[in-house]
Chains A and B, each alone.
Chain A
Amino acid sequence: MMAVAVDISRFEGVPMAPPDPILGVSEAFRADKNDLKLNLGVGAYRTEELQPYVLNVVKKAENLMLEKGENKEYLPIEGLAAFNKATAELLFGADNPVIKQGRVATLQSLSGTGSLRLAAAFIQRYFPEAKVLISSPTWGNHKNIFNDARVPWSEYRYYDPKTVGLDFEGMIADIQAAPDGSFVLLHGCAHNPTGIDPTPEQWEKIADVIQEKKHMPFFDVAYQGFASGSLDEDASSVRLFVERGLEVFVAQSYSKNLGLYAERIGAINVVCSAPEVANRVKSQLKRLARPMYSNPPIHGARIVANVVGDPVMFGEWKQEMEEMAGRIKNVRQKLYDSLSAKDKSGKDWSFILRQIGMFSYTGLNKTQSDNMTDKWHIYMTKDGRISLAGLSLAKCEYLADAIIDSFHNIS
């Protein structure tokens, strides 16, 4: 019988983590037996038949990859060179001076989350005094990322519930009030969760104040091409800042626009003042990536590189992206039309048309959102956000009925 020093489990103090707010929605939806049920919590694109969608061009690229029979050797820490080149060109434009001058440090990373995390780790290491300003509200995981990276953050006003639109003055005031040299996290297009984007004129003013305060703009671009249907248009906010000669962080994701969700493909880009700076920044991002995952996964990177690298496939991609964005615009229109037709109160629902991207902030509060679920079997997040990607034309009228009921009859 051997002697033992101590015999208590080391993990006594490990509590159960809270359930994921989004996952909980999908789970509840799955458990619901009602025929009318609708899942508007989902952050993934669905077809009109409410099925997941693998882009045809992706299938084509994968078949091509199988035929080529490339090996599965490690990528370098910074990822697939062909992907990095393609992704930076897509974002900034191939003719952009920052690309031609070699001033962009680009690392393939694990989709948007991984890109944000690398940048956050870099900020923590090299800007330990700096704070990140994030919009109120923002994607839930933003806060987790900066918390785990130990980067302090505070919020700037963004959503105005009175107008169900942008609180532009509040936004500017809060960015102005922050200490010089703060990092400002901006959604490049299709703000998540509100769907509310600044206008081009507002972007100019945001750039003005950021420049004045010597803040560092930090873009999260998760929907390039997916918001308006045009890759270039959706990148215009980023390009506006870059054109001013600013140094900029940009996180990219191909989860939605190429439907590559589970492949975890994205990139962190840092536009620097000179190529030599970009080299140094890149080298340090690599040092942060190596003890996280060593080198990024190949499959998604190859898909992107193949699609973007072949003019025919690139054209097909743009087409499929337009179709996806187009479907969402159509359901927005139909939802708006249904609401306007059915709601006799005269409430102005046009904010739905002004919002853009996968999500819409309906303006419903938590109790009203609960009513959507409990009475109407419509699943959404408690902040009033619905995913239009999960809505079909066929269900718009039903959804309109539910929204009108929840808005007017529940407080």
Chain B
Amino acid sequence: MEYLPMGGSIKMIDESLKLAYGEDSEFINDKRIAAVQALSGTGACRLFADFQRRFLPDSQIYIPTPTWSNHHNIWRDAQVPQRTFTYYHPESRGLDFAGLMDDIKNAPNGSFFLLHACAHNPTGVDPTEEQWREISYQFKVKNHFPFFDMAYQGFASGDPERDAKAIRIFLEDGHQIGCAQSYAKNMGLYGQRAGCLSILCEDEMQAVAVKSQLQQIARPMYSNPPVHGSLVVSIILNDPELKSLWLKEVKGMADRIIGMRKALKENLEQLGSPLSWDHITNQIGMFCYSGMTPEQVDRLTNEYHIYMTRNGRISMAGVTTGNVAYLANAIHEMFASLRNNPQCSRSKSIHKAPSNPYP
């Protein structure tokens, strides 16, 4: 149990880079990636935020609206100024692509953007491949820096390569990216705090320098990262049989969630709900942004003992074949009672949403 180097387990880092950048990535071969083992996704984001503060002190970070709440805490505690950019479109429960593109264009050249590589948390709304290409192009025009938070690779679609598509598009387009990876969900290593931060640099020498500085940031925070989770990750990914088993298991987890999405939507439709629930299956990953208001959420909690965050985010991971009917029923009944007693709710009534205005 000797101390890992400050930058963490080399084996774990190497395997992580292959996952994110591609097995045969030229950037890996050319040693252009500065990478360190980090304390899961949080730790990776924090290292990057501190690095930004130290070496790019005039920079700020653009964070999507909404995002995982801890993103705000991380960049705030790192003392990097934050801005937000348009992301979620409440009316369609989908992506506000036009708003997103406007914000990208209006941001000053060379801005830093936090992007969720897949399975956006909390909305579950991801850009399509085409949309990613457009975003990448505009980033090139504006010389923006993309920082990817990839917390769900493999866990979103069931296929790690597919879930890394956005990153691969940006790499193809010649961007230098940053990437936070987490093994919390896709390997179920939550409490082990296993993750990786990588930054694609100009060349090997720069990568060595950047890595050395990331280590300097880590050292007065925790000296060197914990070994146990990194051992589990590197053993699994280094062994073809274990890796293959992992790919099966992660697909199994993703499939179960996709199945629950389908089931919830079907249940609601079968109950005769007049509302549109397409977003349940359009969205991806662990979370479903239901569109429910805090008051509606409170009703579900108080009257039906269903617990979720008050922004209407449902963790589909908590839905099972055993409870999906109950959940659908509760949601349906709750909305029905609102329709029958409109004065009880302060929210706007929810109409069947138009089809996606951004084909």
Contacts and interface: CB of A to CB of B under 8 A. Distances in A.
B202 interface: yes
B223 A113 contact: yes
Contacts of A177: none
Interface in B44-95: 46, 55-56, 70, 73-74, 76-78
Interface stretch (A156-164, A239-247, A287-295): A287-295
Name the 5 nearest CB pairs between A and B, nearest first. Answer: A262-B227, A110-B222, A298-B191, A17-B212, A293-B39
Main secondary structure of the interface of B (DSSP, over half): helix
B206 interface: yes
B5 to A, nearest CB: 8
Contacts of A288: 77
Interface centre among B4, B5, B74, B222 (most CB of A within 10 A): B222
Interface string A250-264: 000001000111111
B101 interface: no
Interface residues of B, number: 58
Contact of A10 (B176, B224, B228): B176
B191 A292 contact: no
A295 B227 CA distance: 16
Interface of A: 2-7, 9-11, 13-17, 20, 23, 44, 52, 54, 58, 72-75, 110-111, 113-114, 117, 141, 144-145, 147-149, 255, 259-264, 287-288, 290-300
B191 A114 contact: no
A20 B6 contact: yes
B190 A293 contact: no
Contacts of B216: 17
27 contacts: A2-B141, A4-B140, A5-B141, A5-B142, A7-B143, A9-B202, A11-B206, A17-B209, A44-B3, A75-B191, A110-B222, A110-B223, A111-B222, A114-B222, A117-B221, A144-B220, A262-B2, A264-B222, A264-B223, A287-B73, A288-B77, A291-B42, A291-B77, A292-B46, A293-B222, A297-B228, A299-B192
Given A72-B190, A263-B228, A297-B191, A290 B70 contact: yes
Given A16-B208, A75-B191, A262-B3, A110 B141 contact: no
B190 A113 contact: no
Contacts of A72: 188-192
Contacts of B77: 288, 291-292
Contact of A291 (B2, B70, B191, B202): B70
Contacts of A298: 191-192
Contacts of A16: 208-209, 212
Contacts of A264: 222-226
A13 B55 contact: yes
Contacts of A11: 55, 199, 201-202, 206, 209-210
Nearest to A7: B143
A50 B222 CA distance: 27
B141 A290 contact: no
Contacts of A144: 219-220
A261 B2 contact: yes
Given A293-B222, A300-B226, A10 B1 contact: no
A11 B220 CA distance: 22
A14 B52 CA distance: 11
Contacts of B201: 9, 11
Interface centre among B189, B206, B217, B228 (most CB of A within 10 A): B228
Contacts of B42: 290-294
Contact of B191 (A110, A111, A295): A295
B209 A14 contact: yes
Contact of A6 (B70, B110, B189): B110
A371 B2 CA distance: 29
A297 B193 contact: yes
